Amino acid sequence: MKTILKKKGFLVTLVIVLALFCLAFGGNGEPADEAEEEEEERAPFAVMPVNPAPMTGETISVYNWGDYIDSEVIDIFEAETGIRVIYETFETNEDMYAKIAKGGSSYDVIVPSDYMIERMIQEELLQPVNWNNVPNVKNIDPRFTHESYDPEFKYSVPYTWGTMGLLYNTETVLEAPDSWDILLDEEYKMDMFMLNAPRDTTAIALVMSGHDLNSINHDDLADAKNLLIRQKPLVLAYVVDEVKDKMIAGEASVALVWSGDATFCMSESDTLNYVVPKEGSNIFYDSMCIPHNARNVSGAEKFIDFMCRADIAAMNYEYVGYAIPNTAAIELWGAEEYNASPVNNPPQETLNKCQVFKYLGENTKLYDTIWTEIISEF
């Protein structure tokens, strides 16, 4: 009996201690403040339909950049339409182009950048979009339509945009960099990442050499190549999507990145910051397009229209982090907070220093040759 009472007493004490613990730590083992912070997370912008459509047997194949869509968005599309999405990824425009141009594979939706759209239009690798089937194009800010690469706004549906710049660790780069020169600074030897993307990295080397980032002048390109060769001993690795985890983990002090990846990294780490250097940079536009040999054009249009829906584009922005051209989605996500980001909404002064890549025709080979030499010796 005594033992039972002792056990009862122990149980009562345990319950009281647990109750106090729950009060102090918000009931889930985390301090109350953190629990409250978690509650402040955004509610989802779009949700799975309660009664998903039965699968129709129809499929679309989507070929997009790595880590460039919220997979839940695809789940919602499938549940709403009954169309199954076969999803594949690429790392650079050049990889994607090589696959499409070679033939043999067929995609219904691809997401090239500006200069690659220009090239694919010229080479008749894209088909015009039937805007009647993409009513949500009304959500796209007209500032992002009729761009130089698709002046008649016939082939490309704006998806994201951004700049190239420097992502740096404020704990190890004590003075905020304002110049690309940091990419040649011995102090950061084996402490920097460069983009494993031929056009992008060569363009920055051109700018660093004082040349136009669309240059096709052989001497300019020789300067860019020599600069990249000189820089190689300082480079820890040439990477694409891996840069995000690596910079968040503090593996290097500085990286050449696309702005959306900077936004993501800065949301995960307080010690990272982003700058577009004073010498100027690239502004890019990635758009959804339908290849000439798409098998399911109507499915492609449904998918593109779905991606332009305000709730879906807002949800996708929350995950991807790249600036979006979708006015309705920005409103839904929170225009004030969105516009306050100098990374995704750079001041005009910064934009004035940025240029879009042009398709350089046959001269594209010059860039490819330089890049092969740089990468193959690494």
Binding site for ligand SPD (CB under 6 A): 65-68, 113, 200, 241, 258, 284, 286
In the complex, least distance from residue 320 CB atom to ligand SPD, rounded to whole angstroms? 8
Query: Which residue's CB is nearer to ligand SPD, number 185 or number 251?
Result: 251
DSSP 238-278: EESTHHHHHHHTT--SEEEEEHHHHHHHHHH-TTEEEE--T
**Minimum CB distance to ligand SPD smaller for 222 or for 351:** 351
Q: Give the Cβ contact number of residue 341 at 10 Å.
A: 17
CB 274 within 8 A of CB 165: yes
Cα–Cα distance for residue pair 305/61, rounded to 1 Å: 15
E strands within the chain?
59-65, 84-90, 109-110, 126-127, 157-169, 192-195, 235-239, 254-258, 272-275, 281-288, 290-291, 354-355
What's the one-letter identity of residue 148? S
Backbone φ/ψ region at 92: left (φ over 0), alpha (ψ -120 to 50), beta: beta
Which CB sits closer to ligand SPD, 168 or 264?
A: 264
Distance in Å, CB of 64 to ligand SPD, minimum: 8
- Closest contact distance (angstroms) between CB of 20 and ligand SPD is 46
Nearer to ligand SPD by C-beta: 65 or 155?
65
Q: How far is the CB of 67 from ligand SPD (least distance, A)?
A: 4
- Output 87 or 131, the one with its CB closest to ligand SPD: 87
Overall size of the chain counted in residues? 378
* Least spacing, CB of residue 367 vs ligand SPD, in Å: 13
